[in-house]
Each structure stands twice: as structure tokens, then as C-alpha cells.
Structure 1
């Protein structure tokens, strides 16, 4: 029975980490990117970091962000992220309505994957960043 239920795959939706300069200080922001042709409705993003820094277990507070809509081929800033957290796993669960379907996907930036050497030009934002699709 369960095999008969269609579960559409999430495509054209990404989470990206983007650096920015503010008063000479390098800061980073998390963005949700909708590269698809349909708007995302009732978007809920849950974020949490977890892992070990210098042998000490570290878990960040679970944050939840809600956006009514994300138009096609646009991006929204979700939250800032401190570079001190790049040494742990940073997880983002994204749930949204796309037409008649409610979809969700987990995006995981593993410890050490957010770094200057991993930057590439991002779709929609046209800025350098690290992306998970």
C-alpha cells in the first residue's frame, strides 16, 4: 500500500551559506533558494547545529522560521550564522507546499564544509557561497 503513494522529490530548492562584509567584519547568512518555476507556499525552515568543537559536544538551539511564500526564481535570507559554528554539522529542514503537495527535505552542511575554498557562484543570488541542493 505504502508503495502506491506518490512522494514527489524536492528539486530546484536549495539552502546556501553566503559571506558578506559588514564594517570590515566577515559575516555569513543562510539563504533558501527557489530555482523552480512554481512558488513555494507556507515555507517552514528548522535549523540546528550539532557536533564537537575542541572535544566538547556542542548543540545549538533549534530555530524555526516561517515564510508565507517564496516566489519562483527568488531567494530569501533565513538567518545569520557564526563562523565559529562551521566546525559542527549545520542542519536545515525545509517544508513547504508546492501546488497540491506538501514536501520536505533535509539539507546538511557537514562539519568543515563551509569554508572559503568551497565558494562558488550561486544561482539566483549571483554571489559566491556554499550550496546544498
Structure 2
């Protein structure tokens, strides 16, 4: 039965950790975003995030988006800098039409930093991107 289930490869959907200015608190914050660089909308987007190392595990965070329009992005969560010393995973599941897609994005420990910043697709921002 398991061999009959086919989950297509995810392309055009990314996770980015972006450093941006917070107007309310006048601080520089790190925020996680999901980016839909596809030409179609994504439905029922489920995101499960957690961090871990050999001796630490964070709480699990879940977020649901009913729809993520084509060529758009949405904020997932604020990221505390202490989490960057851990491996951070973002498990993303969504529907495109009648097909279900699933992918786990991994930010390895200490890879989220100012030296790793790059231009993020669709956003006028710099951050760390995992495809």
C-alpha cells in the first residue's frame, strides 16, 4: 500500500529566515517566512517547526494557512537568536490542485547569521534561504 502513495517533488516553495526592522519595538528581528514562487496558489498549507541538538529539543510550533497565493509569501514566526545554535526544521505540507506535497526544510545549526544573508525571492529583503 505504501508504495502506491506518490508524493511529488516540491519545487518553487522556500523557507527564509529574514532579518528585518520591527517598527513597533524599534528592534532588528529575525522572522521565518514561507515563499510561494510558483504560478499557482497553494491550499491548506501546514507548517510544523522545531529545533533540536544532541541535548536540547524546542517546543513544536504549528501554523496553518488556508491559502498561499501564487508569487507571494507569509510570515511563519519570530525566531529568537538562541535558536540558531540548534538545527531548525520546517515540515511543510500543502495541496496544489488535488495533489498533496510534503517537504522538510532544514537550517543546520549556526547557518543563520549575518554572513549568510542573500537576496530573498519575491521579498525586498535579505535573509537565509533553504530551497
Normalised TM-score (structure 1):
0.90
In the alignment, which residue of structure 2 is the partner of 1:40?
42
Q: Measure, in 2, the Cα distance between the counterparts of 1:19 and 1:30.
A: 9
Instruction: Indicate yes or no: 2:10 matched with 1:10.
Output: yes
In the alignment, which residue of structure 2 is the partner of 1:127?
125
Q: Measure, in 2, the Cα distance between the counterparts of 1:26 and 1:58.
A: 26
Measured after TM superposition, the shift of residue 3 of structure 1 is 5.9
The 3-state SS of whatever aligns with 2:67 is: strand
Measured after TM superposition, the shift of residue 8 of structure 1 is 1.4
In the alignment, which residue of structure 2 is the partner of 1:49?
51
Task: Say which of 101, 115, 118 aligns to 2:116.
Answer: 118
Q: Measure, in 1, the Cα distance between the counterparts of 2:4 and 2:83.
A: 41
Q: Measure, in 2, the Cα distance between the counterparts of 1:120 and 1:8.
A: 28
Q: Which runs of 5+ in 1 are unaligned?
A: none
Q: Which runs of 5+ in 2 are unaligned?
A: none
Give the structure with the higher percent strand: 1
CA contact (8 A) 2:21 2:29 kept: yes
Task: State the aligned residue count.
Answer: 129
1:14-93 matches, cutoff 5 A: 14-22=14-22, 23-51=25-53, 57-93=55-91
Normalised TM-score (structure 2):
0.92
Deviations 1:8-64 (A, max 9, x none): 110000000001123443210000000001111000000000115xxxx22110011
Measured after TM superposition, the shift of residue 4 of structure 1 is 6.4
